[in-house]
Amino acid sequence: MPLSAVACQKIDKAIAKYPVGRKQSAVMAALTIVQEERGWLSPESLREVAEYLGMPPVAVYEVASFYTMYHLKPVGRYVLTLCTNLPCSLQGSDVAARHLQETLKIGWNETTPDGMFTLLQGECMGACQEAPVMLTGHQRMCCKMMPPQIDALLAQLRDEAAQKERQE
């Protein structure tokens, strides 16, 4: 599936931020744009980004495989990344992790059977004073995530997904 016209427009906007002849500098933006549209980065998607930016496919793969925000296999509608570094761990991320795994009935790097949630371990997110910290979709930071807050967030995300489905 070729890059969509919308994705190309967004990538072109990112390319315009760099000097002429440096469109490869927009590789991270391009990967983010394609992943937001498709949900993950398939080998085909990586080749398409490489072709669009005039890069060797292996160079695009190196970027995509280095950063944890890029998904090289399918993930759930909502990606939940819980910080498990020492400061969060000392403030209860182990309790939060157990609760997430028991509630969702999945382990790390797994997706719920309904495709709704993927659970990942994360590195420091720079908000140790708000521990334990969890990201949803690599964009929204949720703080002090203990079981009651986790349950409320999961219910909110399920409601959001149901509303989107009704609109479609």
Report the predicted TM-score, pTM, of the whole model to 2 decimal places.
0.83
37-86 pLDDT, tens per residue? Answer: 999 999 999 999 999 999 999 999 999 999 888 999 999 999 999 999 99
Q: At a CB cut-off of 8 Å and minimum separation 6, what does 124 contact? A: 83, 85, 87, 88
Cα 83 to Cα 52, 135, 159, distances in angstroms: 34, 8, 25
- Cβ(151)–Cβ(103) below 8 Å: yes
The pLDDT tens digits of the residues spanning 115-159 come to 999 999 998 889 999 999 999 987 899 999 999 999 999 999 999
Dist. CA 81–CA 69, nearest whole Å: 10
Cβ count near 147 (within 10 Å)? 15
Quote the tokens at residue 64: 């995509």
DSSP label at residue 128: G
| pLDDT the model gives residue 123 | 86
CA 45 to CA 126: how far, in whole Å? 31
78-83/134-136 β-pairing: antiparallel
- CB within 8 A of 97, min separation 6: which ones? 82, 84, 121
